[in-house]
Copies of this chain bind each other. A is one copy, B any other.
Amino acid sequence: MAGVTEPAGQRPYHHGNLRSAILEAAARHLREHGADQLSLRDLAREIGVSHAAPRRHFTDRQALLDALAETGFVQLGGALRTSLAEAGDSFAARVHNAVSAFAHFATENAALLELMNSGKHRPGATRIVDAAEAAFGQMVELIKEGQEHGVLERGDTERIGIILYATVQGITTMVNGGMVDAEKLDELVEAAVEHFLRGARPRVR
């Protein structure tokens, strides 16, 4: 039944937390219809507010997309974090877990991922950059770990991290773009990790 503040199905003048409602709806639309089809007015209609209301929370369509990208990086960071927490001690297993987590996040949130690395965000969108670095930083940490354990070659840690990150990122892009069958994802991830570990292990002297 309608709450006290919502008599006869009427929404009170103030929504309460429009911002998060918009973000939620936007995330769903993003997943279901892609970023191109995401319309501010559509969201407003769905939520039941006037089409100009969202403007109070997102100055721009781009601002909304930026916010989505930011939360995307936060989510990705979380996924990586738990994947690493659940992993055992074996470095290979840790890498595999992290990469696999990334791959699944990326393929289950294709449109979001595209948004995240489209780099179209506002010049001053430091929040996105921060969130991205927080997520990416875990990969770098992981590499550092491998280097300290003597399983990975020394040298520019970030560069090695970029290569690992890029490889997974590329695989998911191909899957998301339909160039590669989605069923091959796990198999590819596994092969990529193995290649990586072999390619980046210390040279025998």
Q: Which of B120, B136, B170 contacts A165 (CB 8 A)?
A: B170
Question: Is residue A9 contacting chain B, with contact meaning CB distance below 8 A?
Answer: no
Residue A171 interfacial (CB < 8 Å): yes
Q: How far, in angstroms, from A59 to B174 measured CA to CA in the complex?
A: 27
Q: Considering residues A166, A179, A187, A195, which has the most beta carbons from chain B within 10 angstroms of its beta carbon?
A: A166
Q: Tell me what chain A mostly uses at the interface: helix, strand, loop, or mixed.
A: helix
- Give the residues in chain B near A173, CB-CB below 8 Å: 117, 166, 169-170, 173
User: Which single member of B117, B188, B196 contacts A162 (CB below 8 Å)?
Assistant: B188
Residues of B contacting A30 in the complex (Cβ-Cβ under 8 angstroms): none
Task: Determine if A63 is an interface residue (Cβ-Cβ < 8 Å).
Answer: no
- One complex includes copies of this chain to the number of 2
Contact with B along A151-169 (1 / 0, CB 8 A): 0000000011011011111
Is A119 in contact with B169, judged by CB distance below 8 angstroms?
no
Q: Are B166 and A174 in touch, CB under 8 angstroms?
A: yes
Tally of A interface residues using CB under 8 Å: 39
CB of A97 closer than 8 Å to a CB of B: no
B residues within 8 A CB of A177? Answer: 117-119
Given A117-B179, A163-B171, A199-B200, output 16 extra A-B contacts at Cβ < 8 Å: A36-B120, A114-B118, A117-B173, A119-B178, A136-B179, A159-B188, A159-B191, A160-B191, A163-B195, A165-B174, A166-B169, A166-B188, A167-B167, A168-B170, A195-B195, A198-B200
